[in-house]
Amino acid sequence: CGVFGIWGHEKAAELTYYGLHALQHRGQEGAGVVVSDGTSLKIHKDTGLVNDVFKQANFSDLAGKAAIGHVRYSTQGDKGYANVQPLLFHTQQGSMALAHNGNVMNAFELRGELENEGSILQTTSDTEVLAHLIKRSTKADKEEAIIDALQKLVGAYAYLIMTEDRMYVALDPRGIRPLSIGRLGDAYVVASETCAFDLIGATFEREVLPGELLTISDDGVESTRFAMREQRRMCAMEYVYLSRPDSDLNHVNVHASRKRMGMELAKEAPAEADVVTGVPDSSISAAIGYAEQMGLPYEMGIIKNRYIGRTFIQPSQELREQGVKMKLSPVRRIVEGKRVVMIDDSIVRGTTSRRIVRMLKEAGAKEVHVRIASPSIISPCYYGIDMSSKEELIAANNTLDELCDQIGADSVAYLSENGLEQAIVKDKTIHQGICTACMTGKYPVKKEKESTISYSK
Ligand code: 5GP
Ligand code: SF4
Ligand code: MG
């Protein structure tokens, strides 16, 4: 998912709409905005793409100087309208809207506790759980109540919470999900990725820190911690495939890191070949890096139909297979009679690689050498990326030779864990560390509760 927020701008809802466009790649199942005019909150949201959702929006009905927005793809919770965010709640003490990227690992247990105490929840989204926890907190002060509630969560999360007169911004204690703050004139802007700042002409100010809670109001920004400072564990998959190449995460540009992944991969696993090609869009940067390092030509051997959404958005395997077929086509004249290196950013189920190897061979490629610009995915993600069952992971259930056989390639090689880390954390003074749990099985957050600190203002 992707989140966007803005405080202190006359055109808050419109700018959120633009910001969500820049974050569209992070989720295509639903989109929405909640705007505050200082006395009440208004919502516009629906299932579908940002453009479709906002076609029906009347921005004059969404007047106000603060807004939060969300694009959704479901990892937990059902698809469908009820779970589209932001979620909006009304109470006698005022209203509250929430938007969330990530996954709360103990959401099921927390729901159970809430239900035992008499709460009835409307959605299956873990975001609603946080809203209830905030409301139920015995702390009178809103900020303290939010801290109280956040301290009950275990997992990876970037939260935007808005009331009539405040916006709260929170990042999980390990900083697994990305979240940055920017400025647009006097306004404050928050987004999952910095590409949203570029689109609206905002400037990047800084990353939200792990375990940090920001309170934004007309008085400015206040920062406090709700959790002990832990080593940052930004999701490596954000660099590998999820984020946009023009975004900077933790001061590292995504395209540049992908290119380095390709270069490291060429050093580790060179292939005797004539031409290098990448699977558009997310693998092109790595393919360019691989080609440059090898001294081979980078060519557009595969093209993408840009009117078809990301394959992983499709809910079933059948639809996914069909999706890949409709989405990617070989460029026959480029690959015919050639030994082709096909770079992909990652293999999850193997659908893409299998289909593309076949496609390239049918188009006349003499050999197809598959090179993957990240380590093999062998373990599920519990932190908000959709690959949650081990049975689905082709690398978890096959040896490299079996996998090579299954996808029909002449050879297969992955980037090493060290190579990935080199490519992302190129400068340890500016980058504090990554999560690679799905590739290594080393989980930075276990289901047991993380250590927390008590709140002091
Ligand atoms: P596969 O086709 O092996 O299931 O998925 C890998 C390919 O799809 C890669 O090209 C990657 O860009 C994209 N992809 C689709 N869904 C996911 C996902 O959940 N995680 C990752 N890492 N890549 C995905
Ligand atoms: Fe990202 Fe993998 Fe860690 Fe999940 S387990 S947060 S996908 S690196
Ligand atoms: Mg891809």
Q: Looking at the CA of 314, which ligand is closest?
A: 1
Instruction: Report the pLDDT value the prediction gives residue 68, as an integer from 0 to 100.
Output: 98
Distance 432 CA to ligand 2 centre (A): 16
Q: If you average pLDDT over residues 127-147, what whole number do you get?
A: 94
- The predicted pLDDT at position 394 comes to 94
Closest protein CA for atom 4 of ligand 2: 381
Task: Give me ligand 1 centre to Cα 345, in Å.
Answer: 8
Q: Which one of the ligands is nearest to 304 CA? A: 3
Tell me the three state secondary structure of residue 448. coil
Whether 130 lines ligand 2, by a CB cut-off of 6 Å, is no
> Residue 435: which of 69, 103, 169 has the closest Cα?
103
Helix (H, G, I), strand (E, B) or coil at 113: helix
Q: What is the ipTM of this complex?
A: 0.93
Q: Please state, rounded to an integer, the average pLDDT across all residues of the chain.
A: 91
Count of CA atoms in the C-beta half-sphere (13 A) of 262: 32
Return the pLDDT at 300. Answer: 96
CATH C-level class of 239-421: alpha beta
Find the mean pLDDT for residues 159-173: 97
Report whether pLDDT(112) > 90: yes
Ligand 1 center to residue 324 CA distance, Å?
11
> Does residue 452 surpass a pLDDT of 70?
no
Domain segments of the chain as ranges? 2-230, 239-421
Average pLDDT over residues 393-406: 96
**Cβ(1) to ligand 1 under 6 A?**
no
Strand partners, 385: none
C-beta 347 within 6 A of ligand 1: yes
Neighbours of ion ligand 3 (CB under 5 A): 279, 282
Q: Which residue has the tokens 């080393």?
A: 442
So what's the pLDDT on residue 455? 35
Atom 4, ligand 1: which residue's CA is nearest? 349
**pTM for the model:** 0.93
- State CA 170 to chain mean position distance: 16
Instruction: Say if residue 138's pLDDT is above 70.
Output: yes
pLDDT tens-digit map of 40-68: 999 999 999 999 999 988 899 999 999 99
Q: Give the pLDDT score at 429.
A: 60
Report how far residue 65's alpha carbon sits from residue 36's, in angstroms, rounded to the nearest whole number: 6
User: Whose C-alpha lies nearest to ligand 1, atom 22?
Assistant: 346
> Does ligand 2 have an atom closer than 6 angstroms to the CB of 176?
yes
Average pLDDT of the segment spanning 10-28: 97
pLDDT in tens, 437-450: 999 999 999 876 54
d(CA 335, CA 297): 12
pLDDT at 450: 45
Q: pLDDT, tens digit, for every residue of 258-302?
A: 999 999 999 999 999 999 999 998 999 999 999 999 999 999 999
Query: Any idea which fold 2-230 has?
Result: Glutamine Phosphoribosylpyrophosphate, subunit 1, domain 1 (3.60.20)
Q: How much is the pLDDT for 314? A: 56
Q: Is 195 designated active site? A: no
Q: What's the confidence (pLDDT) of residue 306? A: 78
Asked whether the predicted pLDDT for residue 123 surpasses 60, the reply is: yes
Query: What is the DSSP code string of 151-199?
Result: TT--EEEEEEEE-SS-EEEEE-TT--S--EEEEETTEEEEESSTHHHHH
Do the two domains 2-230 and 239-421 of this chain adopt the same fold? no
In short, whether 261's Cβ falls inside 6 Å of ligand 2 is: no
Gap from CA of 109 to ligand 2 centroid (Å): 22
Taken in order 445, 241, 257, 415, the sign of the CA dihedral is positive
Asked whether the predicted pLDDT for residue 242 surpasses 90, the reply is: yes
1, 68, 179, 328: the catalytic one is 1
At 326-381, the pLDDT tens digits run 788 999 999 999 999 999 999 999 988 999 999 999 999 999 999 999 999 999 99
* pLDDT score for 75: 63
Task: Report CA(74)–ligand 1 centroid distance (Å).
Answer: 15
> Of 13, 3, 23, which is closest to residue 59 (Cα–Cα)?
13
Of 79-83, 250-254, 370-374, the poorest mean pLDDT is in 79-83
Residue 72 in tokens: 């959704």
Query: pLDDT tens for residues 296-324?
Result: 999 999 999 877 665 455 556 666 666 66
Residue 454 pLDDT: 39
